[in-house]
């Protein structure tokens, strides 16, 4: 059953997991839970209505999960430095400010679903809030929402730009 005020195409973070497509999928969130006052490095998943804005994938590891997904190339990074003019945006190596490598050695970012969290890049209000593969069941993230690989791969083709991600 869809909670009141939410559509069947919404991703909704519930106490038991991420609801989508009529099912609740186990997930993990930030190590400090959810927050209404997100700050860079606080380890929390921000509350609110976020929109899906992009999808990135490792073409050397998985097939394109959706027609609109873009490949992660060597040198693709994400700025997480509040002093960077490109804060909370994709950047390319070499990059002189703090950043996260999108082409990781582990499989966590083989598929990354981007959100519009802090799209305006307000310094220090948090960056890189993604949906991605979890490290293992129950292992918290730095603020993202993480799912089992098979779940993430199954959800990806059903998500479109603009899909709402609701974190209560």
What are the tens digits of pLDDT across the range 139-150? 999 999 999 999
Residues near 97 by beta carbon (within 8 Å), at least 6 away in sequence: 79, 81, 83, 84, 86, 87, 91
Residue 15 lies in a domain: yes
Residue 38 lies in a domain: yes
Average pLDDT over residues 97-115: 98
Residue 116 domain boundaries:
11-143+152-167
User: What are the pLDDT digits (tens) for 43-77?
Assistant: 999 999 999 999 999 999 999 999 999 999 999 99
Residue 73 lies in a domain: yes
Residue 5 lies in a domain: no
Cβ atoms of 167 and 45 closer than 8 Å: yes
The structural domain count of the chain equals 1
Residue 4 lies in a domain: no
pTM value is 0.95
Residue 48 lies in a domain: yes
Question: Above 70 in pLDDT, residue 8?
Answer: yes
Residue 77 lies in a domain: yes
């Amino acid at each position: 059953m869809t909670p009141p005020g939410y559509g069947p195409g919404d991703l909704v973070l519930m106490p038991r997991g991420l609801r989508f497509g009529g099912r609740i999928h186990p997930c993990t969130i930030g190590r400090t839970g959810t927050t209404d006052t997100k700050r860079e490095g606080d380890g929390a998943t921000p509350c609110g209505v976020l929109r899906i804005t992009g999808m990135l994938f490792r073409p050397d590891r998985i097939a394109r999960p959706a027609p609109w997904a873009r490949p992660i190339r060597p040198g693709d990074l994400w700025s997480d430095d509040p002093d960077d003019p490109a804060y909370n945006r994709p950047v390319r190596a070499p990059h002189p400010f703090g950043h996260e490598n999108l082409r990781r050695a582990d499989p966590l970012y083989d598929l990354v679903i981007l959100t519009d969290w802090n799209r305006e890049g307000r310094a220090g209000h948090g960056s890189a809030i993604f949906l991605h593969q979890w490290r293992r069941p129950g292992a918290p993230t730095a603020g993202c929402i993480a799912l089992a690989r098979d779940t993430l791969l199954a959800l990806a083709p059903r998500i479109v730009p603009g899909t709402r991600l609701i974190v209560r």
